[in-house]
Structure 1
Amino acid sequence: MTPDDRPEPARIPATRSLRELGPIGWVAARAGARTVRAKRFHLFDTIGQNKLLFLTFMPYAGVLLNWGKMSKRDKELVILRVGHLRNSEYELQQHKRLARSRGLDDATQALIFEGPDAEGLTERQRVLITATDEFVVTRSMSDETWSALSTHLDRKQLIEFCLLTAQYDGLAATLATLKVPLDFPD
């Protein structure tokens, strides 16, 4: 690794301090690291320092990621596309792994990164990618794209799509701004 390849220092250093994270943040950071099979879970070690926001972030983020009306596979497609569009290495590093366990193999992930015109995507995947692209880039969605998305998602899923996409777009911005270090050396 050359000096130019080294990551920039975090703007808010991650901590493992019980005092800084509080008992819930401290436990969540350790449980998160164990869940992703990493030594540290830098996201929680960083944002956990704002205890009140972390306490509200955790359930909201957890519901968006693990429950709700959209399939976990569709959620991961959206998250991977947001991570790609925002060049969020942290999100991509975490969610490439998780997406594999949710049915998106490396070949499918490569198609997601290629974009909605990639050969081999299903119509549903094309529409989800197109909708994600428009939502992230324009902060809205054309009537045509909304109509196409509405053929694949019901009302509750459409609401969830918007909140999920916005959540991971905002998280990508937070990770980049705070310069949160990666959890894995790759």
Structure 2
Amino acid sequence: MTGSELTPPESSPAPMPARIPPGGFRELGPVNWVIAKAGARGIRAPKFHLFNVLGQHRLLFLAWLPFSGYLLYAGKLSRQDAEVVILRVGHLRASEYELQQHRRLARSRGLDAATQAAIFEGPDADGLTARQRVLVTATDEFVITRSMSTETWTALAKLYNRAQIIEFCTLAGQYDALAATMATLRIPLDFPD
């Protein structure tokens, strides 16, 4: 499986109106409104649209947030490895929201623009480390085939212990599900670029 076989279409249609508009205090309730405000401050945007939409399901949002936060900030994978996986999922699913957020975060975690371009190109791209090639290949297989070849599994198992492999699958699955959720709900981008 090569990167070129998995490249999403080059052009995207114009953004469509949000199916569930980002909520404010009334829709979110006081707790989720404060969380959404803090999140917006954290990403340096007027609103964190993902939180302002998902927060409208008050209890689900409060259950999802620690899980998501753990994977993003405190998991057993290195933060750089997590960003490789997230960027690749965002690319495979053509999720501009994920890519807009994680291009920025990945830069702060040591993945410069050239490395990110290589991640988007695929596992055979110049500029990827051997480790990154394994992660991109494993992400491609996990997202596209919903499984992993024996060869890729063996390569991943040389990098990660059992808990890390479980977390890899959960991380890729979480961001695949988020990409589908954001696309279906048509969550607006947080930044104009």
Range of TM-score over shorter length: over 0.9
> Which string of whole-angstrom CA distances, capped at 9 and with x for unpartnered residues, describes residues 83-120 of structure 1?
00000000000000000000101111001001000012
TM-score (norm 2): 0.92
User: Match for 1:126: what amino acid?
Assistant: R
Quick one: which of 94, 111, 118 aligns to 2:118?
Answer: 111
The Cα shift of 1:155 comes to 1.0
Q: Which runs of 5+ in 1 are unaligned?
A: none
Residue 15 of structure 1 and its aligned partner are, at CA, apart by 1.2
Matched, 1:8 2:21: no
Distance 1:33 1:40 in 2: 5
Structure 1, residues 123-146: CA drift from partner, whole Å, max 9, x if none?
100000000000000111111110
SS in 2 for 1:110: helix
Q: Runs in 1 of length 4+ with deviation above 4 angstroms?
A: none
| CA distance in 2: counterparts of 1:61 and 1:179, whole angstroms | 20
Q: What is the letter of the counterpart of residue 15 of structure 1?
A: G
Taking the aligned partners of 2:76 and 2:146, their CA distance within structure 1 comes to: 22
Tell me which of 155, 159, 178 is aligned to 2:162.
155
- SS of equivalent residue, structure 1 residue 151: helix
Instruction: Identify the residue that residue 145 of structure 1 maps to in structure 2.
Output: 152
* Aligned pair partner of 1:126 in 116, 120, 133: 133
Count of equivalent residues: 182
Match of 2:36 in 1: 29
For 1:70 and 1:82, locate their aligned partners in 2 and report how far apart those are by CA, in whole Å.
Answer: 16
Q: Using the aligned pairs only, state the percent identity.
A: 68
Query: Would the alpha carbon gap of residues 5 and 88 (structure 1) be closer, same or farther in structure 2, given more than 3 Å must change?
Result: closer
Matched, 1:84 2:127: no
Q: Which amino acid aligns with 1:45?
A: N
Q: What amino acid does structure 2 have at the position aligned with 1:68?
A: G
Aligned partners of 1:150, 1:22: CA distance in 2, in Å? 44
By how many angstroms is 1:46 displaced?
0.3
Q: Quote the RMSD (CA, aligned, Å).
A: 1.1
Amino acid at match of 1:135: F
- Give the residue type in structure 2 aligned to 1:8: M
Alignment partners' CA distance in 2, 1:82 and 1:41: 20
Separation (CA, whole Å) in 2 of partners of 1:12 and 1:173: 14
Structure-2 separation of matches of 1:126 and 1:23:
44
Give the secondary-structure state (helix, strand or coil) at the position aligned to 1:32. helix
Q: Which amino acid aligns with 2:19?
A: R
In structure 1, the partner of 2:48 is 41
Work out whether residues 114 and 127 of structure 2, in 8 Å CA contact, stay in contact via their aligned partners in 1.
no
Counterpart of 2:75 in structure 1 is 68
